[in-house]
Amino acid sequence: AKMDGSKPISGGLSHCWPQFGPGAIQQHGFARNVNWEVVSVADDASSVELSLTPNDYTKEMWDKEFKCTFTVALGEDQLDTKMNVENVGEEAFDFQAALHSYFTVSSLENLEISGSFEGKEFLNKMVGDEGEMQTEERTAITISEEYDRVYKGVNDPVLKDSGKGKSLAVLNTAGWEDTVLWNPYGDEGMGFNNFVCVESVKFDSVTLEGGATWVGDMALKPSDL
């Protein structure tokens, strides 16, 4: 990660917005490249609200009238997040959204990711130039090769790390309809064996009319295996 703004930070819950992946503007959009304004912080520092509005940098590549807010709240047993995208103009615009979530693991060989994967179609971006639609036959995912897969209609992943004896449920309760699994398997420089990206995604474009708001709710709930 480069903390000087020269490249996006690879870690945490970085925002891919208003584009996911390659497209008309830069890879994964601009929301993870810019500073968000701190709107409020709870007295006990258990929650924070951040805001992003257009500036010269964003207008140069995507001249739309928007306001994004992102709220993070730490509860007794889980971390809650809420992303609001508001069209503050009159003209509709389209967008994609994702939380490019990075999670540490003890080792990939100790990790499985459960959820409603079996029978679901996914886009395997590692096949060919444009990727290939495939069907998942497994009930739980293990990673033993490079992964960049978009699982459409899967939004209930649970990471289970036998090395740590812990599980982490990704609770997508609004907006986030899909899951992306990403890992640069074999890349020692990136520390591939000690992290995985399990991303909360709205892969199909959202058309947001003037004055309308889209909401994405995601929580992280840890537990013992």
Q: Name the pTM for this structure.
A: 0.93
- Please check the confidence at residue 89 and state whether its pLDDT lies above 90: yes
Pairwise CA distance, residues 173 & 73, whole Å = 15
Q: What is the pLDDT of residue 5?
A: 66
Q: What is the pLDDT of residue 12?
A: 86
Tokens of 167: 């599980």
Task: Assign 82 to helix, strand or coil.
Answer: strand
Instruction: Cite the DSSP H helix spans in 44-155.
Output: 56-61
Tokens of 41: 């912080």
Tokens of 5: 């703004």
Pairwise CA distance, residues 99 & 221, whole Å = 16
φ, ψ of residue 42 in degrees (nearest 5): -60, 150
Task: Assign 54 to helix, strand or coil.
Answer: coil
- Of 95, 85, 84, nearest to 20 by C-alpha is 95
Instruction: Give CA angle at 77 (15, 191), nearest 5°.
Output: 45
Q: What is the pLDDT of residues 101-157, one digit of tens each?
A: 999 999 999 999 999 999 999 999 999 988 999 999 999 999 999 999 999 999 999
- Percent of the chain surpassing pLDDT 90: 89
Torsional sign, CA 149, 23, 205, 220? positive
- Of 65, 60, 129, nearest to 95 by C-alpha is 65
The alpha carbon of 80 is separated from its chain's Cα centroid by a whole number of angstroms, namely: 14
C-alpha dihedral (145, 146, 150, 151), degrees to nearest 10: 20
